[in-house]
Structure 1
Amino acid sequence: MSIAETEPREEPGGGADRLRRWRLVLGGESDGTGYEPAGRDAAMDRTLAALYGGGGAGVDGRSRSAGLGGSAPQVARWLGDIRTYFPTSVVQVMQRDAIDRLGLSSLLLEPEMLEAVEADVHLVGTLLSLNKAMPETTKETARAVVRKVVRDLEKRLATRTRATLTGALDRSARISRPRHRDIDWDRTIRANLKNYLPEHRTVVPERLIGYGRAAQAVKKDVILCIDQSGSMAASVVHASVFGAVLASMRSIATRLVVFDTSVVDLTDQLDDPVDVLFGTQLGGGTDINRALAYCQSQITRPADTVVVLISDLYEGGIRDEMLKRVAAMKASGVQFVALLALSDEGAPAYDREHAAALAALGAPAFACTPDQFPDVMAAAIEKRPLPVPDKATSR
């Protein structure tokens, strides 16, 4: 968090302003700056000290060593204060720090707390991990918080995803063998100019390029196979949103599968990603082999299927069987994509040995941001090399 983002001054480069910012960064009475905060600065200082130290009471209004107890009202007021004094990006960081450092997760089960927080992907992940313990009085509030985040993600990601994949599907369709009425004659002639016969004043087309049947026929099958272990929370949120976007495209048949040591097919809930998210159970073990076995059983058109495994690759099942399944799918024509994460945070801790083994099979494992995901899917649909980052984590 940058204190520079908290409150602009008329003279941001002045010495007094520098002292003020150092005082807010360092906190406490013996920081050495000689600056004594007052008014709004004093209130900001108290909210920072409640979380990051500097003396006095904690976020819950008590001594830090006293525990949180039934302190939801005090925490809710603190959450309101940080939203007053800091920009949204800083508020979200402070909320995450409060949950991680002070153990506030249990307080998120109370409606007044949820109404006070600034919703983001990380908060959604925390709520999903608490889903089974959530009382009925909190569930509707929690769903409203999750729905807001999902709606914002869809606004950000849906249009570009549909446009990118529609273009990829059209280009992919052109390389198939078209029927006579589907031939794109302009492209076909240009592609075969090297076969022009001057004496006959004609072009011999070795390769026909078609428009593809633009109709509503399904052109590709996509299976999203998502690891729902606790470390994959942000990836689960983004993948659920993308699953709903892909399911809205008639030319793609989308299946969404989540797994830990068991496998759950949530395809019938794809019309509402919030339902998908509340159908997950973050935490638990991991059996990638079992999940891939289920996905493999759902493949009916290997050459037109893309399987996306989103996992940190810590396999609790049978490693050799997992790798054999990946190899078999690729040999049958399936485009296999392995993502260590689908989030803005980059790759989490992951099993490097398994990542290297997948790379040896021609399926490099790498982290992917939500903004990169449409391009990764487009490459898979067109059977082009995947846009693996220069510093691919599987190397």
Structure 2
Amino acid sequence: MADHRGHIMTDTMNDQHNDSGSDPELLRRWRLILGRYAGQPNSAAMNPHDQQIDHALDYLYGREYQGRGLLRTPGSGGSLDPSAIRAVDWLQRTRTLFPQDVFERIQQHAVEKYQLAELLQDPDVLRSLEPNQALARTLLGMRGRMSAQMRDAVQDVIRQVVEEITRRLRPQFVNALVGRRNRFRRSHMPSAQNFDWRATIAANLRHYDLASGRLLIARPIFNARVKRHLPWDVILCVDQSASMLDSVMYSAVVAGILSSLPTVNVKLVVFDTSVVDLTHLAADPVQLLLTVQLGGGTDIGRAMQYCETLVRTPQRTVIALISDFEEGALPGPLLASVQRMTEARVKVLGLAALDEAARPVYDHTMAQRLAGRGAEVAALTPAHFAEWLAEVMA
């Protein structure tokens, strides 16, 4: 508890930029970090705002102490125990006490670690929560245990999260895939993806300042982009085992973005030990996420064999296997399928991570064996996946 609460209070105090180094200030900080079980638990020395912060944190993080069998310190004063305040009231009050990023972390702890079920049983309460990926993960994980009246509220939250991710990622895929850079035609429309640094340096060498040792850029040069006309088939083969929830979420968004581009024909396959073709939902990431069944084992070979049957034009087909490569079946069928497709000139990509944090956790041995059969394997964020896809399709 002290670890979670301590991080929350450290972030809050950093945001407030309180530089006081006095002993009373240090005592105040430690009191707020440690909570009512601090060595000096008397809250009378705290101002009213500090007391509200202390009560809000104690309502949530005090559950850790209670779970360990620790009782309230005698004489510690009143508190906001779970029986004294509704979770929704606590949530609304907490939202006003902390900066936005800190509040989102507290909300995440409440839902994921301390399982405040009340927050997820009332549609109005659910809609009042901050829609973010942590909340979406929790809702998708417990979707089958929710009442019918909660489904619309869950869909609203998932839609907001999907729209936010799409807003951030769509420009990357459009810039990378709708056109390729034309180094023989210049553009006056500045874009980081189109910036030609070699040509810019060559064109501005006369502006080099010897005194400062700096090159002054009087005229940056950008490459124009030309339209692609021949579409590619992109088959997304997505592992939907429980450990791949973040990747499933981003894969759904990526499928939706790719489906809207004229240069790409998208097929979407999800798998655990079974294989399900969800191509008909590829353009609707919200319904896709509400359809996938997370969990189960992993039979990657079976999924790749199915994707192999979808190939129509090998030279213009990309199969992106999004998985941790933890094969539950014998590896022979998987490796044989990958080798057959790469020999037929299908571009087989193995994507080991598909979340913003890019923290890959995957079977390195299997990844190396796939690479040995001709697949290209990498651990990338969605934005970098867009550039990788563009390079493969160039």
Same fold (TM over 0.5): yes
Distance in 2, Cα, partners of 1:291 & 1:55 = 43
Distance in 1, Cα, partners of 2:32 & 2:307 = 53
Distance in 1, Cα, partners of 2:323 & 2:64 = 42
* Alpha-carbon distance change, 47 to 348 in structure 1, aligned in 2, over 3 angstroms: farther
CA shift at 1:2, angstroms? 4.5
- Kindly indicate whether residue 282 of structure 2 is the aligned counterpart of residue 270 of structure 1: yes
Residue type matched to 2:388 in 1? V
CA RMSD for the aligned pairs?
Answer: 3.1
- Kindly indicate whether residue 172 of structure 2 is the aligned counterpart of residue 160 of structure 1: yes
- Kindly indicate whether residue 251 of structure 2 is the aligned counterpart of residue 249 of structure 1: no
> What is the correspondence of 1:178-257 to structure 2 with a 5 Å cutoff?
214=227, 217-257=229-269
CA shift at 1:239, angstroms? 1.0
* 8 Å CA contact 2:88, 2:119 repeated in 1: no
* 8 Å CA contact 1:19, 1:33 repeated in 2: no
2:19 — aligned with what? 12
2:59 — aligned with what? 50
* Alpha-carbon distance change, 361 to 55 in structure 1, aligned in 2, over 3 angstroms: closer
> What is the correspondence of 1:29-48 to structure 2 with a 5 Å cutoff?
29-31=37-39, 36-48=45-57
- Kindly indicate whether residue 130 of structure 2 is the aligned counterpart of residue 127 of structure 1: no
1:207 — aligned with what? none
CA shift at 1:286, angstroms? 1.4
Deviates more, 1:36-45 or 1:272-281: 36-45
1:99 — aligned with what? 111
2:190 — aligned with what? none
Among candidates 353, 359, 364, match of residue 352 of structure 1:
364
* 8 Å CA contact 1:310, 1:338 repeated in 2: yes
* Alpha-carbon distance change, 17 to 126 in structure 1, aligned in 2, over 3 angstroms: same
1:298 — aligned with what? 310
* 8 Å CA contact 1:11, 1:17 repeated in 2: no
> What is the correspondence of 1:240-389 to structure 2 with a 5 Å cutoff?
240-347=252-359, 349-382=361-394
Q: Deviations over 1:333-390 (max 9, x none)?
A: 11111112211233354223212212333435433222322112122212xxxxxxxx
Among candidates 24, 27, 35, match of residue 27 of structure 1:
35
Deviates more, 1:13-22 or 1:349-358: 13-22
* Alpha-carbon distance change, 367 to 10 in structure 1, aligned in 2, over 3 angstroms: closer
CA shift at 1:56, angstroms? 8.1
* 8 Å CA contact 2:239, 2:270 repeated in 1: yes
**Could you list the runs of 5+ residues in structure 1 that have no partner in the other structure?**
64-69, 172-210, 383-395
CA shift at 1:243, angstroms? 0.6
* 8 Å CA contact 1:114, 1:141 repeated in 2: yes
* 8 Å CA contact 2:35, 2:41 repeated in 1: no
* 8 Å CA contact 2:268, 2:277 repeated in 1: yes
* 8 Å CA contact 1:308, 1:338 repeated in 2: yes
Identity of aligned residues (%): 36
Q: Deviations over 1:32-70 (max 9, x none)?
A: 699843322212122222333388879xxx99xxxxxx9
Secondary structure class of the residue paired with 1:323: helix
Aligned length: 331
Secondary structure class of the residue paired with 1:27: helix
Distance in 1, Cα, partners of 2:283 & 2:50 = 47
Distance in 2, Cα, partners of 1:54 & 1:269 = 42
* Alpha-carbon distance change, 305 to 116 in structure 1, aligned in 2, over 3 angstroms: same
Residue type matched to 1:25 in 2? I
Among candidates 6, 9, 19, match of residue 3 of structure 1:
9
* Alpha-carbon distance change, 105 to 357 in structure 1, aligned in 2, over 3 angstroms: farther
Q: Deviations over 1:90-117 (max 9, x none)?
A: 2332233233332346852442441232
Distance in 2, Cα, partners of 1:31 & 1:294 = 63
Deviates more, 1:241-250 or 1:130-139: 130-139
Secondary structure class of the residue paired with 1:308: strand
Residue type matched to 1:99 in 2? V
> What is the correspondence of 1:69-108 to structure 2 with a 5 Å cutoff?
74-104=86-116, 108=120
